[in-house]
């Protein structure tokens, strides 16, 4: 008598169902962790941009002239204009929102894969004031900046 070895259709269906359940739970968690990593990278880049603005001020005694458009706002001329700053697919756009001779406000706006992120736009001022704008309801800015 011949014995056939292998798996049955029932065993295969059970394995596929288990893999499907695990994937349904793990994938959304993975996506959120990727978003958090992008947020952390860009909040660090925004801090780096603020440091560059301070160095510019030290040399020139003004923040004016650090942006590309009239009023010295828009894309920075002294720092990369997107996150990640070392290249790769852009996830945030860095801009100078407001600037005077002695103050500035920087903003990071989510783009590409990060567009529609629950934390919205990151803002940072020359005094170190951190906040978020256009965030989803119930989102606390500290959670966005610290994670």
Residue 1 lies in a domain: no
In this prediction, residue 139 carries a pLDDT of: 77
Q: Is the pTM of this model over 0.95?
A: no
Residue 38 lies in a domain: yes
Report CA torsion sign: 60, 65, 67, 72: positive
Counted domains in the chain: 1
Structural domain containing residue 36: 9-146
Which candidate, 56, 136, 134, places its Cα nearest to that of 96? 56
Predicted confidence pLDDT, tens digits, the chain (147 residues): 677 777 888 999 999 999 999 999 999 999 989 999 999 999 999 999 999 999 999 999 988 888 887 667 888 888 999 999 888 899 999 999 988 889 999 999 999 989 888 888 999 999 999 988 888 877 777 778 865
Residue 98 lies in a domain: yes
Residue 63 lies in a domain: yes
Give the pair of three-digit tokens for residue 7.
């798996």
Residue 93 lies in a domain: yes
Residue 110 lies in a domain: yes
In this prediction, residue 65 carries a pLDDT of: 84
Q: Which residue has the tokens 């610290």?
A: 146
Residue 3 lies in a domain: no
Residue 2 lies in a domain: no
């Amino acid at each position: 008598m011949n014995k056939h070895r292998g798996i049955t259709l029932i065993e295969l269906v059970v394995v596929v169902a288990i893999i499907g359940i695990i994937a349904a739970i793990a994938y959304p968690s993975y996506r959120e962790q990727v978003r958090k990593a992008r947020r952390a990278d860009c909040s660090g880049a925004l801090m780096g941009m603020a440091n560059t603005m301070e160095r510019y001020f030290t040399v020139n005694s003004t923040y004016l002239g650090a942006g590309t458009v009239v009023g010295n706002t828009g894309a920075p001329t002294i720092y990369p204009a997107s996150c990640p700053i070392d290249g790769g697919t852009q996830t945030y756009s860095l801009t100078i929102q407001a600037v005077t001779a002695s103050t500035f406000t920087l903003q990071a706006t989510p783009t590409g894969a990060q567009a529609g992120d629950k934390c919205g736009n990151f803002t940072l001022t020359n005094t170190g004031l951190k906040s978020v704008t256009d965030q989803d309801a119930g989102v606390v800015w500290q959670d966005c900046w610290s994670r």
